[in-house]
Structure 1
Amino acid sequence: MLVKLWTDKFKGLNVGSGDYNIPENIWEQIAELWCFWFQYIAPYVLEGRLGDKYYKHVLLLCEICKMCLEFSITEEQVNRLEEMIYQWVTEYEEYYYQYQKERLSTCTSCVHAMLHIAHDIRTTGPVWAHWCYLMERFCGLIVAAVKSRSKPYVNMSRRLLHLSQLSQIEHQYNISEELQFDDNIKGISSKEHVYPEAPASILRFPRNLAYHADLTLRRKIAVYLSTEMEIPYNLLLPLIPQYMERWAKVRIAGGGDCIWTREAGANRSGRDQSYVRYDLQIDVHADDPNAEPEMKFCCCYGQLQKILVCTLPSHHFLKDKPNRRLFALVQSCQTNYQDATLGPVTYTDMHTASRIIDLRSISCVIGRVKVGIGKGRWGIIDRSASAGRTILLDDPELIDKMYEDDQ
C-alpha cells in the first residue's frame, strides 16, 4: 500500500498536499524482491529519495516490524510497541489521509488492524505463535511436493497419501528421528570437521593441511597471542609455525550461517558470504596513553579472508594454555563500532590492514546493499538480533533442501 502511494498508483490518488512521490524510473532502480526488503533494505535505498518526515515514518515502521518478530517479548516492550504503532498510525493519517474525505480510501483495514497488534500479543503471545496462515502454509507444502509435469494431480494425491501414512507411523511408534532419512544424525558431514577447542565452529572443505604462513601473518598471530596470553611478543613469534591448516569455509553450529572466505567465493557470481559480524574487546581509552585501560565488547564488521588452525609447540611459556588455536584473518569495515541491528549503518572504506581474531568471535554472515550512485557507501544488513526467523515446514526433505541452498 505504501509503495502504491509513493508511486501514485493507489486508487487514483495523487500526493495531495504531501511530498512523498518517487518517480517510476527511480523506483525501478531500488525495488527488489519483497522478502525482507522493507525491513532491511528500505532504510538504505529510500534515504534521500523520500522527504525527511516520510523517511523517518518508514524507519518507525521498520522498527515496529522487527519488534513484532521478536521470539520473546516483555510487557514493557509490548507497551513500547503500542506507543510506536499509535504514533505511526497517527502520522500515517496526517501524511497520507491528510484529513480529506476524498482521500478516505487511504485508511484501509490493514492500517486499522495495526492498532490491535499489541493487544493480540498480550492475550495470545508473540506474533510468531499465533499469526500463522495454516491454509497458505499447507498449500505451500503441497506445491513444493509436486514433481511431475505430466500428471501433477496424481503426483499431489500420492504425496498427500504418503505424508499421511508417515505421520501416522511416526506418532504411533514414536520414531520421528528415524524418519528424518538422514545418515548424518549429528549434523556433521564427511566434508566437515570440528575441533574440541571451538565446537560451535564447524570447518568445511576445501582445506590445505600445509599452508605456508608468511612472516607478516605470523607476526599478526604473535601480536594477538601476546595480548591475550600476556607473554612478550618476541618470545611468542619464534613459536608460531610456518605451516598450518587453512580451511575455506566455516558453519556456525545450531542452525547458524555458512560462511565462505574471500578466496573461496572469489569466482561466485551470486551472493557474497564472506562478510561477517564479530565482537571484539576494545580499549575505549586507547587514544589516551595516560588513561587506565577500560575494555568493552564492541560490534565489528568485516570480510573473512582466511581460516587458520595454528598448533603451537609445547613450551614452558605456554604453561596450561591450549596449544591448538583457531584463527580468522579479517579485513574490517570502517563503521566506528556501530551496531546495524539498532539502526542503519553505512561505511565507505575498509581498514587497510587485516587483523587476526578468534574464529569463535564470528557470529553470523551479514549482507550489504549499495547506497547511492557510483562508488558511494555500503549499507550493512545484520539479522543477528533477537527477531525470530520462524520457519514453518513439515517435510524434512524441504528443510534439508533449504539448508543445501544456503550452503
Structure 2
Amino acid sequence: MHLLFENVIKNLVLLWTGKYKELDEGSGEYEFPKGVWEAIGAATAASGSDIPGIFAARPPDVLADKIAFTADTWSFWLLYIGPVVLHNRFRRPIYYNHFMKLSRLVHLCLQFEYTQKDIQDIRLGFSSWVEEYEKLYYQNLPSHLSACPLTIHGLLHIADSIEQIAPVWASWAFPTERFCGQLQPAIKSRRYPFANIDNYISANAQPSHIKILYGLEDDLNLKRKTTLGTHFAHPDYPTCILLPPRRPASTVTQFWTDKICVALATRYNTSIQTIRKYLSTDNIERWGKVRRLNGGDSMNASSLVPIAEDRRDATFIRYELLVDRNARSRKKRSEFTLQAFYGQLQHIFVVTLKSTLVLGIDIDTTLILAGIQRAEMKNFYSTGLFSSTKMGLSEVVDMTSVQCLIGRIKAGTHGWVVLDRTGVQQWAMHVTDT
C-alpha cells in the first residue's frame, strides 16, 4: 500500500497544484485556483486539535510541512481528512468523486478480512478508477504520458496480491520501515555501516533472550512502569476503569440529578417519583476519565477535564443504544434495534443504590453512568460521513453503551464532520433473552 500513500496520493496533489512534471491541465479543470490549496493545508493542520491522539499523529499543514507527511500521515489524510477538506473545492465535482472512489477502495482494502465479493469489488473498483484517471489526467495526450507512472498500473494488482499473499495489513511495509528507523541511529561509521547494524541487533537480542530463558521480563524491564494511581473499578463493569479527577456528590447539579432519575426509571421500569424516593444524592460522585480496557480508548469528561489550547479533544464519543423501531405506533409490538449515536461526554457518574424490593434490587448495586450531550447528525452528502451543526438533548446512559472516541473536522456551514474509525470488533453486542 506504500505505492498508494507515498506515490499515488502525492502525484494527485502535485497535479491539483500544477506542479507535476510541468504538465498543464490540457482539456481538464483539476488545478486549484490560487489560495485554495493554502486553505486546504490550513484546514488540515487545524483539524488536529479535534482529532484524538489515538487516531493518528497531529496532521501537519500539507502545504508548509511536506517533510512531516509520511505514508502513515497520507493514509489518514486520504481516509478521513481529505473527504472533508476537499469537498466543494474542485471546479468540477467529477474530480472530487474520483478522489472519493479511491478513498472508499482503500477503506475496503484495509479490512481485517475479506469475502470473495470484497476482493472482486477491489479488483473492479481499481480497474474503473484507473480508467477514469486516464480520462481525467492523461486525456489520451502523448504529452501527458508522464501522468501515468508505474504506480498507477500497480493498483490493478492489489486484488491479486490479496488473493495470493494475505490481507494488505499483513504484508505492508510499515513494520519494516519502523524497524529501519530504529536501525538508522545505530549507524555511526560510513565505512562499516553493516557492522554497526549487526552490533546493535545483537545487543538488543541478548537481553531479550535472557528475559525469556530466566523469566526476568519484569526485573530487566527498563521502561518506566505506568501506574493507574487512584482509580475506580467494579466487577459489574469489567471492560472499563475510572480515573481521576474525582468530585463528591455536592458537585452534581440538579439538572443532571434529574437526568439520572430518568435513566434509572427506564432501567428499572418504574416512575421517576419512585426513583427519587430511593435514590440518595449523597450516593452519587463524579469522575474525570474512563478507560476502556483491552486496547480501548481513554475518554475525558468535559466538565472535569477542560480542553487546553495545546491538547487534543478526547471528549466526543460514539455510543450505542437500543431503540424501539415502533415507538411511534402504540398498537405495534416493541422491536428494539441497536443504533449508534454521537455526542460529548460531559460527566461520569458512579451511583450506588441500596437494596430494595420495589426496584427489584436484592443487594446494594453500583452503576457507572455517562452524562452525554447528543450531537444532532445528518448525512454529509455522498461521502458516507455524518455532520453535526448543533448539539441536541442531554441524557444519561450506562457506561457499557459508550464505545470509543470520535474525531471531528470543521466543514464550514456543514458544521462538524464526524470521523468514526469503529470496526466490527468495537461494536456493542446485545444478546436477546432466551
TM-score of the pair, normalised by structure 2: 0.78
Structure 1 residue matching 2:376: 3-state secondary structure: coil
1:23 has 2:65 as partner: no
Aligned pairs (5 A) from 1:56-75: 56-75=97-116
Q: Is the 8 Å Cα contact of residues 240 and 291 (structure 2) preserved in structure 1?
A: yes
**2:323 partner letter:** I
Call closer, same or farther: CA 1:378–1:39 in 2, change over 3 Å. Answer: same
Q: Is residue 333 of structure 1 aligned with residue 371 of structure 2?
A: no
User: Residue 27 of structure 1 aligns to which amino acid in structure 2?
Assistant: W
Q: Given the alignment, which residue of 241, 246, 252 partners 1:202?
A: 241
Q: Which runs of 5+ in 2 are unaligned?
A: 1-10, 45-58, 60-68, 188-195, 427-434
Cα deviation 1:135-184 (Å, max 9, x = unaligned): 522222245899xxxxxxxx999865541322332454465566545686
SS for the counterpart of 2:13 is helix
Instruction: Return closer, same or farther for 1:63/1:387 CA change in 2, 3 Å cut-off.
Output: farther
Q: 2:93: which partner in 1? A: 52
Contact 1:39 1:65 in 2 (8 A): yes
Q: 1:275 pairs with 291, 305, 316, which one?
A: 316
**Structure 1 residues 281-290 or 228-237, which shifts more?**
281-290
1:383 maps to which residue? 421
- Helix, strand or coil: the match of 1:198? coil
Partner Cα separation in structure 1 for residue 330 and residue 114 of structure 2? 43
- Shift of residue 331, structure 1, vs aligned partner: 0.5
Corresponding letter in the other structure for 1:261 = A
Secondary structure of residue in 2 paired with 1:273: coil
Distance 1:232 1:283 in 2: 19
1:351-362 matches, within 5 Å, as: 351=392, 353-362=393-402
User: Given the alignment of the two structures, is residue 318 of structure 1 paired with residue 359 of structure 2, yes or no?
Assistant: yes
SS in 2 for 1:81: helix
User: For 2:424 and 2:31, how far apart are their aligned partners in 1?
Assistant: 34
C-alpha distance after superposition, 1:24-70 (max 9, x if no partner): 42212222334111110111111111222111111111111112211
Identify the match of residue 208 of structure 2 among 140, 161, 167: 167
- Aligned ranges for residues 220-369 of structure 1 at < 5 Å? 220-243=259-282, 244-269=284-309, 270-320=311-361, 323-335=365-377, 343-351=384-392, 353-369=393-409
Decide which moves more: 254-263 or 301-310. Answer: 254-263
Alpha-carbon contact 1:241-1:310 (below 8 Å) kept: no
* CA pair 333-231 structure 1, distance change in 2 beyond 3 A: same
- Report if aligned partners of 1:307, 1:326 keep a CA contact under 8 Å in 2: yes
Give the distance between the partners of 1:386 and 1:174, measured in 2 at CA.
Answer: 36
Aligned residues: 375
* Amino acid of the structure 2 residue aligned with 1:377: G
TM-score, normalised relative to structure 1: 0.83
Deviation, 1:121, is 0.7
- Long gaps (5+) in structure 1: 147-154, 389-407
SS in 2 for 1:216: helix
Distance 1:80 1:241 in 2: 57
Residue 4 of structure 1 aligns with an amino acid whose one-letter code is L
Looking at structure 2, the residues matched to 191 and 67 of structure 1 have their Cα atoms a distance apart, in angstroms, of 42
Counterpart of 1:285 in 2: which secondary structure?
A: coil
Work out the CA distance in 1 between the residues paired with 2:322 and 2:133. Answer: 42
What secondary structure does 1:115 align onto? helix
Q: How far, CA to CA, are the matches of 1:59 and 1:293 in structure 2?
A: 39
What amino acid does structure 2 have at the position aligned with 1:231? T
> What secondary structure is seen at the aligned counterpart in 2 of 1:305?
strand
SS in 1 for 2:350: strand
Distance in 2 (alpha carbons) for counterparts of 1:89 and 1:46: 20
Amino acid across the alignment from 1:5:
L
CA RMSD of aligned residues (A): 3.0
Q: Distance in 1 between matches of 2:200 and 2:372?
A: 47
- Alpha-carbon distance between aligned partners in 1 of 2:232 and 2:145, rounded to the nearest angstrom: 61
Percent identity between the two aligned chains = 33
2:121 pairs with 1:112: no
> 105-114 vs 188-197, which deviates more?
188-197
